[in-house]
Structures are given as structure tokens and as C-alpha cells.
């Protein structure tokens, strides 16, 4: 299978390190235009002080060059078809809504699933999304950018847990990629205060937002 | 002890959190943790703990070990045991959530009283 991770930061870097060892994945693209900054290091521990100024995507590739490839670009509606071409699934680790909207549009156009993930303070969430089940609009309605990590803070260990929840959704999906009945449904809340993952059920949802 | 500007910038996303703050970051930076358990997860835990500001002393576990164990040398927090024998995603969630709670407790200093 081919997969892409949009964002090589706090959620994207542990995703890349874990998925690079998954035998089902033959190619894993890391898409990120950002360079490594000092304030990234406490929650992106695959980077160190000597990497500051390097591109995140290229730094992650150095850990597993045989499986990972880097695309040093920011994902947008205009380049999504090119950057995500041939992908069976896409992981969102982007920390911004424009990139998520671009993945959602690509998913509507291709029918392929994607795994949404976000983290802030000591809380995060993740969900498997596809036109056949539930989409970003089913979960959140009309979207707005909320506070981001540089405004509200976040703990690196919490981003590890959120990346782990995204990997768990992937592990469930890859067992039955052609049978929607077995796909994990709902929105999974990762609560670093209570130390638990809670599922908000979405079983009744049948997405119509992607219909043309 | 005071944090210099570079250290404040480095840890700014943690200091911004109410549960950590400036004093909490000082406690994390002054903590040494003894860490044992099987690889690769011990190495993952060590990365995240060092990145959060702690000093980490690692010791390999016997091959049959299925748990990570974290011991705060200050005694400010109870020992933490994390099972790491499940699937990758499940293990990442367990490690991430358990270490988040542990770091919040360490940073709060509540155990000191």
C-alpha cells in the first residue's frame, strides 16, 4: 500500500516512525514545508538541536530512507491531487484546517479514506473518515480554525497518544480495507487528564457531503 | 534557579499549559528518572521524557519483560508501570496517556506536601 502523512511535526513524526516499520506499507510520503525550530524539540523528539533549520520531512526520511520519501511543500487544494496521487490512505497530522480541507476534497474526489488527528493542551482526537462512512463535515459541521499549539500549548506525550490512536485506526482498517462494515466508526477522544480514550458513536451517520 | 530566554523559548508550548507553567517546567528540568523496560518502547519513552526536560537514566530489561517502569528519583511521583506488549498503536496510546498524567503530577509538585 501507499500512504501519505500530511505534517511531519508532533503527530506526524511518531506516525512516520511507527508506520515505517509496517510491512503492509511499501511507500510512505511525508508532506511538510516547515523547518525544525527550537520550540519543536520538546514534543518532536526525533529532531535534535543540530537539526534546527532543516526541513522536518527530510529529517524524518533519514531514519528510514528505504520506506519514507519527503515532499517539502504545504498541502493545498491546488496540489493535493499531485502530492497524494496513488495513495490508498492519508494521515492528517497537519495542525491546520486548510490542509484538512484539502485532504477532505481529495477524499471526496477519489473515494479513498483518511485518518484525521489533532491535539491541543492535554486533549486530542482522531477518526477514520471516508465518503462511504463519515467525513470532516459530519463530525464538525462548518469549520473554523481553533486555537493552535503555539497559542494554547500542548504536551509531547499527549501528541504521542493521539498518533497512537491514529495508528490503532489504521491497524483496524488495514485488516479489512475493502469491507466498510469492519471499519472503526466514530470520533475517538484522547483525554490526557483522565488518561482514557472515549469513543463518540456515529453509527447512524451516512455521509452525503461528498455526493455530486 | 531561573530559566534563561532560550530555555523558555524551547519549552514555551509546555509552559503555556496551565498544568505545567513556569514552576512546573522548573520541576521537570530538575527531575531525574530511572527508566527500564524492553526496546523499542524504552527508547521511545526516553526520547519523550528527555524532550520534556527530564534527565533520563536507562537500564535494559530482561528479555521477558513486558512493562516499562519509570521511577522519579525525587520521589515527587509514584512509580509508573506501562504495559507495552500490545499492538503498536495501542502501546503508543498507553505510553502517551500514562506519561502525560505522570508529567502533570511531577510538574504540579502536589506530592511534595
Three-state secondary structure of chain B: CCCCHHHHHHCHHHHCCCCCHHHHHHHHHCCEEEEEECCCHHHHHHHHHHHHCCEEEEEECCCCCCEEEEEECCCCCCCEEEECCCCHHHHHHHHHHHHHHHHHHHHHCHHHC
**CATH: 3.40.190.290, 3.40.50.720, 3.80.30.20, 2.40.10.220. Which one for A2-200?**
3.40.50.720
pLDDT at B43: 95
pLDDT at B95: 97
pLDDT at A151: 60
- Minimum CA–CA partner of B9 in chain A: A39
Is residue B34 within 8 Å of B10, Cβ to Cβ? no
Confidence of residue A212 (pLDDT cuts 50, 70, 90): low
Q: Do A161 and B95 touch (CB under 8 A)?
A: yes
Which run of H or of E encompasses A109?
helix A97-110
Closest residue to A167, CB basis, from B10, B12, B88: B88
In chain B, the domains with their CATH numbers are 5-112 (3.40.30)
C-alpha cell at A8: 511531519
Calculate the alpha carbon distances from A199 to A68, A166, A182, B28, B69 in Å. Answer: 31, 13, 16, 32, 28
- Minimum CA–CA partner of A52 in chain B: B10
In whole angstroms, what is the distance from residue B98 CA to residue B28 CA?
16
**A175 pLDDT more than 60:** yes
List A residues 131-190 in contact with B (Cβ-Cβ < 8 A): 149-171, 190
Directed axis angle between helix A156-175 and helix B41-52, to 10°?
150
Give the Cα-Cα-Cα angle A54, A60, A64 (nearest 5 degrees). Answer: 140
Read off the pLDDT of residues A33-76 as tens digits, 9 standing for 90 and up: 999 999 999 999 999 999 999 999 999 999 999 999 999 999 99
In whole angstroms, what is the distance from residue A45 CA to residue A159 CA?
11
Is residue A41 within 8 Å of B51, Cβ to Cβ? yes
pLDDT at A54: 98
pLDDT at B113: 44
B22-52 burial by CB neighbour count: b if 16+ within 10 A, else e? Answer: eebbbbbeebebebbbbeebbebbbbbbbbb
pLDDT at B104: 93
C-alpha cell at B8: 523558555
pLDDT at B42: 95
pTM above 0.90, yes or no: yes
Q: Give the domain ranges of chain A.
A: 2-200
Residue A149 designated active-site:
yes
pLDDT at B111: 66
Chain B contact probe: residue of A24, A153, A166, A173 with most B CBs at under 10 A? A153
pLDDT at A150: 58
Burial class (CB in 10 A: 0-12, 13-18, 19+), A152: middle
User: In this predicted model, which residue has the larger pLDDT, A186 or B110?
Assistant: A186
Q: Do B17 and A122 touch (CB under 8 A)?
A: yes
Which run of H or of E encompasses A29?
strand A27-31
Residues of chain B with pLDDT under 70: 63, 111-113
pLDDT at A86: 97
Range from A104-113, A195-204, B88-97 carrying the lowest mean pLDDT: A195-204
Amino acid at each position: 500500500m501507499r500512504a501519505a502523512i500530511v505534517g511531519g511535526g508532533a503527530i506526524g513524526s511518531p506516525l512516520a516512525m511507527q508506520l515505517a516499520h509496517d510491512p503492509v506499507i511499501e511507500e510512505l510520503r511525508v508532506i511538510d514545508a516547515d523547518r525544525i525550530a527550537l520550540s519543536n524539540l520538546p514534543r518532536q523528539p526525533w529532531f535534535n538541536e543540530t537539526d534546527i533549520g532543516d526541513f522536518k520531512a527530510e529529517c524524518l526520511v533519514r531514519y528510514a530512507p528505504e520506506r519514507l520519501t519527503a515532499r517539502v511543500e504545504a498541502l493545498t487544494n491546488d496540489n493535493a491531487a499531485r502530492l497524494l496521487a496513488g495513495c490508498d490512505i492519508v494521515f492528517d497530522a497537519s495542525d491546520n484546517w486548510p490542509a484538512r480541507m484539502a485532504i477532505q476534497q481529495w477524499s471526496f474526489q477519489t473515494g479513498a479514506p483518511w485518518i484525521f488527528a489533532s491535539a491541543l493542551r492535554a486533549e486530542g482526537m482522531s477518526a477514520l473518515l471516508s465518503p462511504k462512512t463519515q467525513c470532516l463535515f459530519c463530525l464538525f459541521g462548518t469549520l473554523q480554525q481553533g486555537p493552535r499549539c503555539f497559542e494554547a500549548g500542548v504536551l509531547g506525550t499527549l501528541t504521542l497518544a493521539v498518533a497512537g490512536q491514529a495508528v490503532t485506526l489504521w491497524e483496524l482498517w488495514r485488516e479489512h480495507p475493502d469491507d466498510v462494515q469492519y471499519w472503526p466508526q466514530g470520533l475517538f477522544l484522547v483525554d490526557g487528564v483522565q488518561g482514557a480514550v472515549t469513543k463518540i458513536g456515529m453509527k447512524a451517520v451516512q455521509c452525503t457531503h461528498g455526493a455530486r | 534557579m531561573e530559566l534563561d530566554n532560550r530555555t523558555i523559548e524551547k519549552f514555551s508550548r509546555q509552559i503555556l499549559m496551565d498544568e505545567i507553567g513556569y514552576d512546573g517546567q522548573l520541576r521537570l528540568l530538575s527531575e531525574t528518572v530511572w527508566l527500564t523496560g524492553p526496546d523499542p518502547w524504552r527508547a521511545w519513552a526516553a526520547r519523550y521524557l528527555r524532550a520534556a526536560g527530564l534527565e533520563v537514566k536507562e537500564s535494559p530489561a530482561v528479555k521477558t519483560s513486558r512493562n516499562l517502569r519509570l521511577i522519579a528519583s525525587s520521589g515527587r511521583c509514584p512509580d509508573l508501570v506501562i504495559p507495552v506488549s500490545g499492538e503498536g498503536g495501542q502501546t503508543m496510546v498507553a505510553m502517551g496517556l500514562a506519561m502525560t498524567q505522570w508529567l502533570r503530577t511531577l510538574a504540579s509538585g502536589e506530592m511534595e506536601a
